[in-house]
Chains A and B, each alone.
Chain A
């Protein structure tokens, strides 16, 4: 058993690094962002965003029965990261569950297009640098409240007439 400890610990290193990186990334991101925002006298709730940069991959309104009959709980969000060990959020995939076949990618919200007017203003006035801007945007994007709103928005778009 003692002989196994080096192997166990090394494997443990690999497993924790690969499986735990995203958790540590989010944790460190949250701490760094909250500290940054505190310094700027803002809270995460103050960062308003719109849904304008959500790209849809389905025609709306649609004749597709799968989409027409979709319920809110059939939609789920998958975060897309750049790397398992050095995770950096790339965007959010909004996917529709399909019990009879492959799940369908409905929409995508890319981090690079996720603009927060307040941050742009702060950057313009030199109160925020690019690195911190990216961190705050990343955190806001994967914040549970943001994802909940994005899911609701996509669902309501699937159900509404796009333009009358």
Chain B
């Protein structure tokens, strides 16, 4: 019988512990406290002993753990009451003192421990956040250092901001300062246009278990996913001087959070209307004191408020990004300078020689034709001597503009020498090449150059020689030689004409 009661009590404990976890926390606690009391009362009922009053300490302990000092005091009071009404227990002042002291001390102790735990959890959260940001900065630094291609850089920056592995914002747009420094031009963006789109993309990304490196590598896919966003971003332009918020942003060089974007005028209102933004963070990109661009961030999917701490997270990344963008732009400009002719803006001879080999290789692989036109200004020395070198330079610029207008996007025009130009026409048969050459010749002949009437022909003209791979020659040097030979023939036949290379039989 006694052991049956013990088993019954243990069953109550097991059932009680099982059931309480189906309840909300406060009822869970209440139930545990009641069960602790039930066990004590069961013991007192079946095993009435005078010294069992001390079992109420367990009830006080449980209640103090669950409800801290108030719980401890209530449990102590209730325990005293129960001792008084139990006939087998005799009340003593020891119970009173012990129960109340236990209630208070245990309650205070458990309350202190609980607060300490809560504090530790909060500190832990802060620590983890900092650790994560450090990891992101480290990874992004390595990624940024791996490329000088501006497009790739922009993609890395936006990925770091929006990916879950990164800072985890829902959407980011990037604007760059235009070459004249007067406005910001929308360049690219990552993120959805609506909540539902956001959830769908997120599910796909999560199912694929993509990490930060995967996001960065999938630049082209990202562009496709965010096609509409990118199209909209690229249509945006913001004046650096006319918008108050933008002006303030770059004057103070500090990021800002804009809440209730729809209540603003100007650019912010545009963001609200076109991108459905309600709360945004604006982060200026500044390098060596000069504006480089602007990052705009919002949480269109989860609507998580953007905090000052978020700005602290983004700022180091933004600083790195500004530097990387400046370096990439400088590199691009230097590259451009290394391959272009400073006066005319066409490619230079060094680049031409390099590209000719590539174009020939492509023509061989694809089994199509490559046509080369070499042209030369007739009596250019005379023009220079008559009108001065400044006028000569202007004429060269004008001619190069005509070449740029008439040639197609796939064609490559370069300044070969002083007044000599070469044009590579890939995948172009001889007949088409000759037509283009004739078009160029006529355009130049019909253009009015300064004081051209002093030229021997009465106007400024050009002579052109054409050669084609594979009909005329198959090697680079020989192709140039052939076109040059044709040009020489054009000169000797009276100038202002197009001559096609003829093989000597």
Determine whether the beta carbon of A28 is less than 8 Å from that of B18. yes
**Chain B contacts of A124 at CB under 8 A?**
195, 199, 302
Interface presence of B139 (CB below 8 A) = yes
| In the complex, A9 has a CB within 8 A of chain B | yes
B13 and A115 form a contact (CB under 8 A): no
Q: Is the CB of B206 within 8 A of A13?
A: no
Is A101 part of the binding interface, using a Cβ–Cβ cutoff of 8 Å?
no
Inter-chain contact A51/B13, CB cutoff 8 Å:
no
- Binary flags per residue of B37-63, CB closer than 8 Å to A gives 1, else 0: 001101110010100100100100010
Interface residues of B in 1-34 (CB under 8 A from A): 2-3, 5-6, 9-10, 13-14, 17-18, 20-22, 24-25, 28-29, 32
The verdict on B109 contacting chain A, using a C-beta distance below 8 Å, is no
Most buried by A among B3, B29, B39, B146: B39
Residues of A within 8 A of B97 (CB): none
Would B40 and A10 count as touching, CB distance under 8 A? yes
Q: How far is the CA of A3 from the CA of B212 in the complex (A)?
A: 66
Cβ–Cβ contact A27 & B32, under 8 A: no
Interfacial chain B residues near A110, Cβ < 8 Å: 125, 128
Asked whether, in the complex, the Cβ of A52 is within 8 Å of the Cβ of B211, the reply is yes
Q: Is the CB of A86 within 8 A of B138?
A: no
B203 within 8 A of partner (CB)? yes
Residue of B13, B47, B125, B146 touching A13 (CB-CB under 8 A): B13
Q: Is B206 in contact with A50, judged by CB distance below 8 angstroms? A: yes
Contact between chains at B6 and A115 (CB < 8 Å)? no
Q: Shortest CB–CB separation between residue B312 and chain A, in angstroms? A: 17
Q: Is A36 an interface residue (CB 8 A)?
A: no
Separation in Å of the A29 CB from the closest CB of chain B? 7
Q: Across the interface, do A12 and B13 meet the contact criterion of CB distance under 8 Å?
A: yes
Segment from A18-26, A69-77, A139-147 that makes contact with B: A18-26
Give every chain A residue within 8 A of B117 (Cβ-Cβ): 82-83
**Chain A proximity of B342: nearest CB distance (Å):** 38
Q: Report the contact-size class of chain B (Cβ under 8 Å from the partner).
A: 35 or more
Q: Which residues of chain A have C-beta atoms less than 8 A from B132's C-beta?
A: 55
- By a CB distance below 8 angstroms, the chain B residues around A20 are 14, 17
Beta-carbon contacts under 8 Å, A103-119 to B? 108, 110, 112-113, 115, 117-118
**B210 contacts partner chain A, Cβ-Cβ < 8 Å:** yes
Residues of chain A with a CB closer than 8 A to B202's CB: 117, 120
Q: Across the interface, which residues of A come within 8 angstroms of B9, CB to CB?
A: 9, 12-13
Tell me whether B476 is interfacial, beta carbon within 8 Å. Answer: no
Asked if B131 contacts A13 (CB within 8 A), the reply is no
**Closest residue on chain B to residue A15 by CB atoms:** B13
B306 at the interface (CB under 8 A from A): no
Known: A2-B2, A2-B47. Is A115-B164 also a contact (CB below 8 A)?
yes
**A112 to B, closest residue via Cβ:** B125
In the complex, the answer to whether B58 meets A5 with C-beta atoms within 8 Å is: no
**B107-166: which residues lie under 8 A (CB-CB) from chain A?**
117, 121, 125, 128, 131-132, 135, 138-139, 142-143, 146, 163-165
When the two chains form their complex, are residues A55 and B128 in contact, meaning their CB atoms are under 8 A apart? yes
Say whether B206 contacts A3, CB under 8 Å. Answer: no
Cβ-closest chain A residue relative to B6: A5
Closest to B59 in A: A10
List A residues 58-94 near B (Cβ within 8 Å): 59, 82-83, 85-86, 90
B164–A27 touching, CB < 8 Å: no
Interface pair B32/A85, CB less than 8 Å apart: yes
| Residues from chain A with Cβ under 8 Å of B206 in the complex | 48-50, 117
Inter-subunit contact A9/B17 (CB<8 Å): no
Minimum CB–CB distance for A133 against chain B, Å: 13
List, in ascending order, chain A residues with CB within 8 A of B58's CB.
Answer: 10, 13-14
A50/B203 contact (C-beta < 8 A), A5-B47, A9-B10 known:
no
Task: Assess whether A121 is interfacial by the CB under 8 Å rule.
Answer: yes
Instruction: Jot down 11 A-B pairs with beta carbons below 8 A, ordered by A.
Output: A2-B47, A6-B49, A9-B42, A12-B13, A13-B13, A21-B17, A48-B207, A50-B165, A56-B131, A115-B164, A163-B143
Nearest 4 interchain pairs by C-beta: A28-B21, A52-B164, A6-B43, A121-B199
Q: A residues near B, CB below 8 A?
A: 2-3, 5-10, 12-14, 16-17, 20-21, 24-25, 27-29, 31-32, 48-53, 55-57, 59, 82-83, 85-86, 90, 108, 110, 112-113, 115, 117-118, 120-121, 124, 131, 162-163
